Amino acid sequence: MELTSPTYLAKETVQTVQDYVLFCAQAIANFFRQPLYLGDMVMQADTIGVGSLPIVVLTGFFTGAVLALQASNTLERFGSITLVGQLVSSSMVRELGPVLTSLMVAGRNSSGMASELGSMVVTEQIDAMRSLGTDPMKKLVTPRVVATVFMLFFLTIISDLVGLTGGLFIAKVLLRLDARQYWYNAWQTLIFQDVFMGLIKPVLFGFVIATIGCFYGMNARGGTQGVGRATTQAVVAASVLILAFDLFLTRLLMATLSFH
């Protein structure tokens, strides 16, 4: 690994952040301009949403099950084992559902977008599109951004529901709790603020996943090695940004909404 001066590294980081912000602004602006490429949006929604369904369902189920298992250990000491449904419900809907679903989708789709677009860049297909008068940002980036934001919203809802089912499985099989009581507790503990927080996060996270994947893909340089590097950077950057934004968004929403 070659050594670089801290000054150069700082300048490069600022330049990358600036380029990314402009890239995001252009992706949003393109949504309000014709043509919209609805066919590409539907195709991407199928690839991103339906393709990610198995991994999201598995992650949600086992997360809910582990939550119930861990919670039961603590609640048993206080004689409150029946409250396991409340704990699984609030944890999944507010935090773990949106974050883990986004991380799974980021690992699967950010890398896919970066490698796909990166391959098109290094094989000069992007240049060919420009020479034919097609805007690559509008044709390739905007449909992916719209599809990811749209599908991640519904994937998160599915993940929450499957997570609650995973918690029910543990509550029923291992803890011998009544299923109706579990669902009643899980439903009753949720308030509007919990649901709102849990559903606003995937919209932002979906935007981050798609723009990061496309940004690194469109800026891939240096042949196949560059495509591999862009793919790795996209997954790492998307995952870190999801966790960072989650902290700030949670703090902002908790300050804005009144939690009781």
Give the tens place of pLDDT for each residue, 95-137: 899 999 999 999 988 888 889 888 888 888 888 888 888 888 8
- pLDDT for res 201: 92
Residues near 65 by beta carbon (within 8 Å), at least 6 away in sequence: 166, 167, 169, 170
**pLDDT 10s digits, 205-252:** 999 999 999 999 888 887 788 888 889 989 999 999 999 999 999 888
Say which range, 43-57, 70-84, 157-171, has the weakest mean pLDDT. Answer: 70-84
**pLDDT 10s digits, 173-212:** 887 888 888 888 888 888 888 888 889 999 999 999 999 9
- pLDDT for res 2: 60
**pLDDT 10s digits, 10-61:** 888 888 889 889 988 988 888 888 888 888 888 988 888 888 899 999 999 9
- Is residue 259's pLDDT more than 80? no
- pLDDT for res 258: 66
- pLDDT for res 240: 93
**Does residue 257 or residue 258 have the better pLDDT?**
257
**pLDDT (average), residues 159-182:** 87
